[in-house]
Every structure is written in structure tokens, then in C-alpha cells.
Amino acid sequence: MITATSSLGQVNSTTSYISHAISNIDNQGRIRESYSIEKATIGVTISSTVSKARRRATGEECAIKTISKAKAKNFERIKKEISIMKMLDHENIVKLSETFEDKRTIRLVMELCSGGQLDERLIEEKKFKESQSAILMKQIFEAVNYLHSVQVCHRDLKPDNILFSKRDAIERSTLKVIDFGSACFFNDGQFMRTKAGSSYYVAPQVLSGKYDKSSDLWSCGVILHIMLCGYPPFYGETEEEVITKVKRGTFVFDKKDWKKISDDAQILIRFLLKMNPHERCTAQQALDDTWTLNKAPKASPEALDNATNLRRFRSGYKLKKAGLQTIAEKLSESQIRRLEDVFFGLDSDADGMLNAKQLRLGLKRVGLEELPVDIDTIIEEVDADSADNGVVDYKQFVSITLQKKQVMQETICWNAFNDHDADCDGMLSGRELSELLHSKTIQETMGCIGAIDALRKTKDGATDAAESVSFDRFMLLFRNSKL
């Protein structure tokens, strides 16, 4: 990612209450009175989770993004994301229905897109035709054209942020552009300067800090290139190598991979990937292009030979992303904290770096028997800027994993805490605390019934009915009882 990220330093065992109201929130209070939220997460970052939910009044399914105030670093960015999403109304853009805020979280209730990510579906299809890619790209161009018409630049278009609404056949599918965390309003004739986006998809002008809405069309060109041949036009083993190639902006169509792809498609890609943004096509021009408008009329009826390339390119990023979440979900917090000592013992040359074999061994030693499919592919997320290919800074690995674990835990525990806070005063009585500690959700989430028993017996556990405990106090006591 080009976008600046938060510090990877040690995470505190608890977080203090943050008073930071967002002005354009629809509802103040407990979301679980209106929605039934599933405990499992379908996405997690170091500051937010995404879960499936159901509206209690209608039974309608939706997705809820929960942002932790304590871990979010940029409230202006959250306010901007909400402001942008509230004004958007287009078939190919995910709809934000309402927002909630309480003491610890900001929640975005959005339509649920259950059809999977763009590239995942292309891999599943196996026999994917150029004409089908034209159908999908038309929807992406429609979304971008609408965004630009309302003076919004997405700034992070990539297959991860394009979802299928449902699992229909490609010809009947509806795509949805999601994730407006990097989006911004713009004025024609004025440049944007914040470096945002993802290395494979970012326009050269973004890297130099002086760009306009045409940067979104560059990203579309990269997406189309990947869709047709299975890999990006600017490829490298490291992020640094990718960025260097993006800055040059030169690429070629390898005959081996492009022999079945029409000249029209290649011409459109070159138009989208023009180095000079003034020569780059607009979203409307892309929609009016013969290839888009007539569904690749000169395309071969044969399926493309891109599935293997796409699977190879995608697997690295997908597995590392899923792998860290899997590790965070399956290890307890105490096991994750033990990892640093275990890794230290495996670091034979004391340089702070471990290879995939050592990572695998360390994870098994703390009790993770079922490892992600290919641990090698997790390394890039943790140490993408390292010049040492194939190794990872294990302190950063532990820090990121711990942050993901804690944000998942705190979201689930905060939901359960609210369920037991009958008078909505932000405090649990001794009786309410006892009920919370006995709940299946807490026992499964915190992963250590012995620790629950220890907490229940402590004086600080506030088991006296006259005493009360806040959520911060609960999390601090719980974690201290497990250390």
C-alpha cells in the first residue's frame, strides 16, 4: 500500500475511552438493538472489522464495518469516507444505509456483496472469455464515470475493492465498487497531492504527489490488463521494484499471453495507461470505446488462457492477507505474545529476521497446528519494504498479528458487553459481569476458561453486586489475568 499506515509498535493491553464524535452519524447508541451481528468476521484490518449482519425488523442481510476509535488514527478520513458514501447513489457502487456511533466504535451499515472479489471469481470461472471482461469493465467504467461526475476520485481501485453483488453468471452479474477510505472530493483544474493507492494499480503522477481524477483510469487500465492476461503490466518481486516500473510507465504485450486477445482491447489498455494524463482516456471515452460498447466485437470466442497466471499472481497477496487473519483468529492472545520469545530462539544469527521455514516452526511451537496454505506468501504484508527477499521482521509480524487479534476480540466483546448492560450506562454490575463471563461468546472469543475463572475470583473482578466495571476495566483485568 502507498497510503500511510499506523505505527507497528507494541499494542497496549487496553485502550482509554476516546471522546470523538463524528458529526454526520445517523444514530448514537447500540446498533445491536437494530441488527443481529454475526460473531465471525469476513474482513479485518488493524483498526476495523467487517461482519455479516441481519436487520432485526426485516431480516434483510447487510455488512457492518466496525471501526475502533482507539485504533483509528485519522478521524478526518473517517468523516470524509462517510460523507462521500452518503451522497453516492449508483447501481455499481456499494450503498451505505446508515451509521452508528457509541463510546468505542463507529459502525457503517452497508449492502452485503456476497458474490466474491473480482479476481477470485475470474479464477473460479476458469473458462473466462474476453467478451465477459468487456461486460464487467463496462460496469467499472460506469461507476468511475459517476464518481467523477460528482467530483469524487476513488484513489484505490483494484480487484479487492470490486465485488460481485451476488453469485450470478458473469453475464447477469452486478459489480460493486467498495472501500472509500482513500476517496476524496476534487475540483477540476486543481491537483490532488496525497499519496494513496496500491503499488500495482497506482498512477505515476500519484507517486510524484501531483495528480487528478485520471489516476482512477490508470487503475482501470491495470485491472483490465490483469483481467485479460492474468498479471499486471508493471510487475516486480518487491514493492520497490513495482513502483520503479510504474514510474517508467513502459510495458509490452507478451505475444505468448496476448495471442487470443483482440487488438481493440490492447488499444484501450494503451489509452488507459497513457503516461501523460492529458492524453489518458476519460471514463466516458472508455464507455464509448468500441470494445466496451459492443462487448469486445472482435474477440475470439475461445476462453482465455489467463487462469493459471491470475492464480499465480493473486495467490501471493490473497494468501498472505488471509493467512495473517487465520493466525490471529486461531491463536490466543497469550500464544501470540509468546511468539516473540519463540522466534528469538529460532533467530540463529540474531538479525531480527526469519525465513518461512522458521516462521512455520515457531507457529507450530506455540500451538498452531493448521497453518495457512503457504506461509511464504504472508511475508510481504509484514515486511514489504525490506530488501531482504524471503524473510520477515518477526517483531513486526507479532505486532501486526496481535493488533488484528485485539481488534477482533474487542469488537466481539464490546457487542457482548452492550448486550449485558441492561441500563445502558456503560457499566456492568457484579451480576451483569458474572452473566457476561459465563456467556459462550466470551468464553469462545477470549479462548481461556481458566482465565475467566481467575478473573471471576479476583477482588478487582467486581463480583460484588454493589460494584460496577467499565468495558476498559473489563478488558484490562481480563488480559492481565491471562498474562
Annotation marks residue 351 as catalytic: no
For 331-389, where are the alpha helices, taking DSSP H only? 333-346, 356-365, 379-382
For 347-393, where are the alpha helices, taking DSSP H only? 356-365, 379-382
- Contact predicate 229/309, CB 8 Å: yes
d(C-alpha 446, C-alpha 455), whole Å: 12
Please, which residues bridge with residue 427 across strands? Answer: 470
Q: Which class for 22: exposed (0-12), middle (13-18), buried (19 or more C-beta within 10 A)? A: middle
Q: From residue 15, give the alpha-carbon distance in Å to each of 12, 69, 329, 355, 473.
A: 7, 10, 20, 33, 9
Q: Which of 2, 11, 82 lies closest to 47, judged by CA? A: 11
C-beta pairs of 21-25 under 8 Å, 24+ apart in sequence? 21/101, 22/75, 22/78, 22/79, 22/82, 22/99, 22/101, 22/106, 23/79, 24/79, 24/82, 24/83, 24/86, 24/99, 25/82, 25/99, 25/100, 25/101, 25/106
Instruction: Give the chain's length.
Output: 483
Helix axes 333-346, 394-420, angle to 10 degrees: 170
CA dihedral 39, 42, 43, 49 (to 10 degrees): -30
Among the listed residues 102, 156, 160, 179, the single catalytic one is 156
d(C-alpha 206, C-alpha 54), whole Å: 39
d(C-alpha 203, C-alpha 197), whole Å: 9
Q: Which of 68, 42, 48, 164 lies closest to 114, judged by CA? A: 164
Q: Which of 278, 273, 283 lies closest to 203, judged by CA? A: 273
Q: Which class for 163: exposed (0-12), middle (13-18), buried (19 or more C-beta within 10 A)? A: buried
Write the single-letter amino acid at 210.
K
Q: From residue 227, give the alpha-carbon distance in Å to each of 111, 119, 232, 260.
A: 25, 7, 9, 13
d(C-alpha 111, C-alpha 61), whole Å: 8
Active site residues: 156
